[in-house]
Amino acid sequence: MAQTTQMDDPGHGRSVALLSVACRALAANVYLAQPLAGPIAATLGLSRQAAGTVVTMTQLGYGLGLLLIVLLADRVENRKLILWLVALAGAGLLVAGLPPAAGVFLAACLAIGLGSVCVQVLVPYAAHLAPEVRRGRVVGLVTAGLMLGIMVARPVAGLIAEVLSWPDVFRLFAVMMVVLFVVLFWRLPPLQPTETENTASVLRSMVRAPFRYPLLRQRIAYQSGLFGGFSLFWTAVPLWLMQPAWGWSEGDVGIFALTAASGALAAPLAGALADKGLGKQVTAAALAMASVGFVLTLLFPDGTLWAAAGIVVAASLINAAVTFSFVIGQRAIFGIDPGARARLNGIFMASFTLAGAVGSATGSWVLAHLGWVGVASCGLLVLVLVSIRFVRTEVCSRSRSLSR
């Protein structure tokens, strides 16, 4: 439960637009380095195999923030927490844009991830203010901003880097955080939670939550598999497309990522389907879409027109699959315990963000040693294992219960 000063109903356009834009800008911070991993590694003196580290550090910061910062959203005034996190993200972006030495840059990436976890305070913030009958749609619309930020970050970063330089990407987004801070300072109403648990009790409840709530465990498993594959794909694919067989530039990779960003538009549809009780069917479709996406990347010779078309379709399918599953998962988790939405969402997000960090760290290494066939095989293996878990949990268990 929480007490808040009312702003416009988040189901109305202006409020949803504000929260969606804020999520878009903050989520983009975490993935700015992904299409620039090669040039950043070259500037910082990192090996090609270690290029994924620049993405992994930001994701680790994001995951750490989910565990240590987001739990505060159930206990401290949300507006102040949101503003502090935006400021932290802006400071990290400013330092990363200097550019500093490798160690300082990686520390700045960690700070960017910590601050950008603000998006996971904003989503339950919107859910608190939305009426139950519209909660799925509101969460879907706000999450659409989050997912669009993740997906548009890559093309925007690639295009800015080609026109200017990769440090300018971080400088421009630091300016964006300043603007966002000012807008949120004036527009957000306070949201004061009524939770009275101490920090130790909250941490214990977070550790116990996956054991206490089977639904939470299920959604963590599904989203971890999908997001791990998603991160594996998007860390490896820019490096692959800039190899001699393809010969793409940073701008080319940016345009490619932009064409695949349409997957974020699936979020409002997923929210509406969740409100209709179709979460299991949408999850099954998401797992199938991501699997088909990886298969498509293996069907044609590298560098051909058909291969390029297949990769665009594959990227769109993988993006949409992650978006579908994410919205369905959040909608389900927000219904478990309204008084602990932020911490349950934090566990959910931290779990699959860790899977994403593993995917990012693995992507560049697998590509360097096993080529794209190895990358696609790893992604498919993970998705097959998660699909088996889905069938056993959602289909077989339901069949057994009906037969009794």
Using the predicted structure, report yes or no on whether residue 284 has a pLDDT greater than 80: yes
Per-residue model confidence (pLDDT) at position 198 = 66
Residue 281, both tokens: 């069917």
Distance of CA 60 to the CA centre of its chain: 12
d(CA 183, CA 190): 14
- Phi and psi dihedrals of 311, rounded to 5? -70, -40
Report if residue 165 sits inside a domain.
yes
Q: Please report whether residue 196 resides in a domain.
A: no
221 versus 145: the higher-pLDDT residue is: 221
Report whether pLDDT(9) > 60. no
In a domain, 239, yes or no: yes
Instruction: Note whether residue 139 is domain-resident.
Output: yes
| 257 — pLDDT class (breaks 50, 70, 90) | confident
**Higher-scoring residue by pLDDT: 159, 342:** 159
What predicted TM-score, i.e. pTM, was given to this entire model?
0.71
- Closest by CA position to 259, among listed 283, 226, 282, 237: 237
pLDDT at residue 87 above 90?
Answer: yes
How are the residues of the chain apportioned to helix, strand and coil, as percentages rounded to the nearest 5?
80, 0, 15
Q: Which of 324, 233, 225, 292 is nearest to 35 (CA)?
A: 233
Task: Note whether residue 197 is domain-resident.
Answer: no
If one counts every other C-beta atom within 10 angstroms of the C-beta of residue 306, the result is 10
Q: Which domain holds residue 57?
A: 7-191+202-403
94-115: average pLDDT: 87
Q: How confident is the model at residue 226 (pLDDT cuts 50, 70, 90)?
A: very high
With left for phi above 0 and alpha for psi between -120 and 50, is residue 277 left, alpha or beta?
left
The partner residues of 2 in beta bridges, in order of sequence, read 193
Residue 391 maps to a domain: yes
Greatest mean pLDDT among 162-176, 206-220, 232-246: 162-176
Between 211 and 137, the more confident residue is: 211
> Considering its fold, how many domains does the chain have in total?
1
* Segment 271-298 mean pLDDT: 86
Among the residue ranges 166-175, 254-263, 309-318, 322-331, the one predicted with the least confidence is 254-263
For 255-370, list the strands marked E by DSSP. Answer: none
Say if residue 400's pLDDT is above 60.
no
Task: Quote the pLDDT of residue 6.
Answer: 46
Mean pLDDT, rounded, for 371-382: 93
In a domain, 2, yes or no: no
Which of the residue ranges 192-196, 301-305, 321-325 has the most confident prediction, judged by mean pLDDT?
321-325
- Residue 262 belongs to a domain with what CATH number? 1.20.1250.20
Task: Report which of residues 120 and 370 the model is more confident about.
Answer: 370
Radius of gyration (Cα) for the chain, nearest Å?
Answer: 20
Q: Is the pLDDT assigned to residue 401 strictly greater than 50?
A: no
Give every CB contact of residue 247 below 8 A, 6+ residues apart in sequence. Answer: 303
Residue 266 predicted with pLDDT over 50: yes
For residue 5, name the pLDDT band (cuts at 50, 70, 90): very low
- Residue-wise pLDDT for 304-324, tens only, equals 888 888 898 999 899 889 888
Helix axes 102-116, 37-44, angle to 10 degrees: 140
**Does any domain span residue 47?**
yes
Average pLDDT over residues 92-119: 88
